[in-house]
């Protein structure tokens, strides 16, 4: 049942004006309004909002205009307001309904539903983790590890490989196709501040977590002392493939070692050459 909302005092004056038409026979006004006398009394005192259907019946009989500053409230308009008040009061008395375990179960269930219907999750503004293929150890994966150890970088949410656009465009295309074959995701190109370099970028927390599990680390490779993963070193074919990726992206040979951040740093190739001898 719709209700009306008028500025303060207008509902009372409106009913008094209608009462004049009925010679202030309020029981009759209540009967025409299809409400009891007490409800009509509450309307006149503006304790409650008058219903819109009663106003239309009375307005038609009394032949009075409907006020201009009237607002029609939809049915159950107050339900949300009072439900919120009830919820706040309930929380004040009893505390939170949820428990950490219950919220965890609810979150896990929601995530499962969203994974089954990612379009629905997207419509709600929920960003879902990008699914990737998790390849088993292979020559191609070992080569990609070498690429990442060379000119690759990794943050919490994405990986990137920088390449020379003047000399290595074809190799950049190869790296993108390698990412697609290994992880079944597409990598994009991002410009850098250099005129001679672009960056290949692939995003996804699952991708980052997978590569961490395979031996890579987030952040600066020198500070974090990132080494060739043991699973690569233990296999000659993987070691050769990893060395190929490393040389292709960061290939230079030195006859000496040097210090970085006051730490003696023998370059990665020394490990490989010792392994492959």
Taking the complete model, does pTM exceed 0.85, yes or no?
Answer: no
Asked if residue 156 has pLDDT above 70, the reply is: yes
Residue from 87, 11, 10, 88 nearest 49 by CA: 11
What is the reported pLDDT for 220?
86
Give, for 202, the enclosing helix (H) or strand (E). strand 197-203
What is the reported pLDDT for 155?
93
pLDDT digits (tens, 9 = 90+) for 191-234: 888 888 899 999 999 999 999 999 999 988 878 888 899 999 99
**Separation CA 219–CA 156 (nearest Å):** 9
Q: Where does the pLDDT of residue 265 fall: very low under 50, low under 70, confident under 90, or very high at 90 and above?
A: very low
**Separation CA 256–CA 247 (nearest Å):** 17
Across 143-169, average pLDDT: 92
What is the reported pLDDT for 256?
53
What is the reported pLDDT for 33?
81
What is the reported pLDDT for 134?
95
What is the reported pLDDT for 207?
95
CA angle, corner 8, sides to 7 and 13, nearest 5?
95
What is the reported pLDDT for 251?
63
| Percent over 70 (pLDDT), the chain | 88
Asked if residue 142 has pLDDT above 80, the reply is: yes
Cα distances (angstroms) measured from residue 205 to each of 62, 154, 157, 159, 212: 70, 11, 5, 10, 11
pLDDT digits (tens, 9 = 90+) for 42-95: 888 888 888 888 888 887 777 778 777 888 877 766 677 778 888 888 877 877
Asked if residue 19 has pLDDT above 90, the reply is: no
């Amino acid at each position: 049942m719709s209700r009306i909302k008028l500025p303060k005092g207008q509902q009372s004056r409106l009913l008094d004006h209608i009462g004049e038409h009925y010679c202030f026979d309020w029981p009759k006004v209540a009967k025409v309004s299809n409400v009891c006398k007490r409800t009509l009394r509450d309307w006149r005192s503006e304790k409650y909002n008058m219903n819109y259907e009663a106003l239309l019946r009375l307005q038609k009989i009394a032949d009075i205009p409907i006020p201009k500053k009237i607002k029609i409230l939809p049915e159950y308009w107050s339900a949300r307001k009072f439900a919120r008040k009830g919820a706040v009061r309930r929380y004040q008395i009893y505390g939170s309904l949820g428990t950490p375990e219950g919220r965890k179960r609810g979150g896990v269930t929601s995530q499962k539903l969203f994974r089954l219907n990612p379009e629905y999750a997207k419509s709600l503004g929920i960003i879902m983790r990008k699914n990737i293929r998790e390849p088993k150890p292979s020559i191609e994966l070992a080569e990609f590890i070498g690429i990442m150890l060379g000119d690759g970088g990794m943050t919490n949410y994405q990986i990137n490989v920088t390449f020379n656009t003047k000399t290595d465009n074809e190799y950049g295309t190869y790296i993108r196709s390698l990412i697609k074959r290994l992880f079944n995701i597409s990598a994009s190109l991002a410009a850098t501040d250099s005129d001679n370099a672009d960056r290949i970028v692939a995003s996804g927390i699952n991708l980052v977590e997978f590569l961490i599990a395979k031996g890579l680390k987030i952040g600066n490779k020198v500070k974090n002392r990132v080494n060739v993963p043991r699973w690569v070193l233990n296999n000659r074919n993987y070691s050769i493939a990893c060395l190929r990726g490393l040389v292709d992206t960061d290939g230079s040979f030195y006859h000496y070692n040097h210090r970085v951040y006051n730490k003696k740093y023998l370059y990665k190739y020394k490990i490989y050459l010792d392994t492959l001898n």
